[in-house]
Structure formats: structure tokens, C-alpha cells
Structure 1
């Protein structure tokens, strides 16, 4: 990849990844607001905003981060299977995407439906679970960010053989 193209892809990757990380923090804040606003009109509004953020920030951000990361991994010196930090970051990204869809997005939809009908609805462990899920997502994305900067663990066996 030519240096100018690499810079463009890198800017796109960093921007979308940081946006995804910021969206995760926003989801945590909204989940905490919803959790502490039982019985108030703010509660369903917070879940509605979480749902909008999920569809407008988290899903597109995760896809953009994955695609731009794969382009960089395939067409730069890092490659996909040559460095442990790249493999780990890819696994964390896919985990975060699946976790976000299976756990968080579905939970937000359930919480929104329940609180639209009754802002005092008993969500059981769903409310705290969404906050905990946001903490997990934030931690995973923060770890992926750290890996991008620190680049630990060296090369894989495949990476050493190519060297």
C-alpha cells in the first residue's frame, strides 16, 4: 500500500474505532441514567437514545472499524496472522460486535419496550445488566486501543517464518 493510501486508511480506522469507543462510553452513561430514573419519563427516553445510538453509532462504527482494520492488516506490514497483537485485536473486535448485538442491542430493545408501556416497569436484572454490558464493551474496546499503541507479544510463528 502506498504511504498516502495507508495514511488515509489509518485515519479512517482510528477515527471509526475511537468513535465506537466513545459510543460505548455514551451507552454506559445512558444506561446509568436509565437505571437511576425509575418511574420518571427520562427512563424510556434514555433507553430510546441507547437504541438510536446502537443503530446509528455502535453498529456502523463496529463495521467500519472491522473493515478498515482488515484493510490495514491485509495491505500493510502488520498483516493479519503475523503479529499476536493484530490477531488479539481482531478477536476482541469480533467479540465486541457479537456481544453488542446479542446482549446489548437485544437488552436495550427489551428495556425500551417495557419502559414505554410503564416507566416504573420492573426490569429485574436487565437494567443493571445493560450497565454491566456497557462496562464490558468499554473495557474490551479500551484494551483494543491499548494493543494498537503498545503492540505487545511480538510475531507469531508464521510471522517469524516470513521474516
Structure 2
């Protein structure tokens, strides 16, 4: 397969960085909204926070996640880096898969569940759900920050190619 020119690589890398930054920003916004829920007892405000999280997940969250994965795959495939040639890229791929599962399955589920539970009253089930959501959002923010750090430092060298 033909490699990208330097200009093409820069455009794809720029898109990858922008999508990644949006994904991190959306996740940090989720965390801010979760913390805000802890500062109110008003059920309508809590439902508004959760509805905002759901809308973010369904729009900017999904678009940035998909954009990050597609541009990352293209950069790996169409440049010298490859998908499995370097340990740091393999590590990023594993962490990205974990973040995908967290975002698309768990965080999405706990957000929907929070909307449903907040409709009744703020009870023990809601509080448990909320703390589960918040813990996993903190984990996701941490993992996304680790992805950025790995991208900058590119630790762990190239895998030994066996023939």
C-alpha cells in the first residue's frame, strides 16, 4: 500500500489530534457535569445534567470517538508506524478499545439509567448509579490522558520482526 506524502500525513495527523482533543474534552465535560450533580438536590437540574451528558455522548462524543479511531487506523496503516510494529502503538490500540467499550457501553448505559432513576426521586439506586458513572468517567479521562502521553513520548520500541 502506498504511504502518505508528508503533507497528507500532516493533514491526517491534524485531524487525529483534533478528534482526540474533542473526545477528551467531551469526557472532561461529563466529569464536570457529574460533579455538578453532587452539588444540587433539585431533580429537574439533575435530569438536565444527565440529558446534557446523553446529548454530548450521542453527538460530539460519538463523532470524535469514531473520527479518532478512523484517523488513527489510517495513520498507522499508511505510514511507517504500522498497526503492530511498535509496542507503544499496540498499547494505544488496547487502551482505545477499553475506552470505546467504556464510552459506547458502560458510560452510555449509566447515563441512560441515571435519567431513568432521577425521574422517580434521588434515592440510593440513583446515588449508586451516579458514583459508578463518575468512577468510570474518571478512569476514561485518565486513560485518554495516558493515550496523549504515549503519543508524545512513544515509549517501548519496535517489536522484533520474526521471519
TM over 0.5: yes
Alpha-carbon shift at residue 119 of structure 1 (Å): 4.8
SS of 2:46's partner is helix
Alpha-carbon shift at residue 101 of structure 1 (Å): 1.8
Question: What's 1:58 paired with?
Answer: 61
Confirm or deny: 8 A CA contact 1:85 1:152 kept in the other structure: yes
Cα distance in structure 2, aligned partners of 1:43 and 1:118:
12
Question: What's 1:85 paired with?
Answer: 88
Question: What's 1:101 paired with?
Answer: 104
1:120 to 122, 126, 129: 122
Offset from partner CA, 1:29-77 (integer Å, 9 cap, x none): 1111123323342110000001011111222111110110000000111
Alignment TM-score, normalising by the size of structure 1? 0.92
Cα distance in structure 2, aligned partners of 1:121 and 1:53:
25
Give the aligned CA root-mean-square deviation in angstroms.
1.5
Confirm or deny: 8 A CA contact 1:41 1:119 kept in the other structure: no
Q: Which runs of 5+ in 1 are unaligned?
A: none
Confirm or deny: 8 A CA contact 1:89 1:147 kept in the other structure: yes
Offset from partner CA, 1:85-118 (integer Å, 9 cap, x none): 1111111111101111221000000101221x23
SS of 1:157's partner is coil
Q: Which runs of 5+ in 2 are unaligned?
A: none
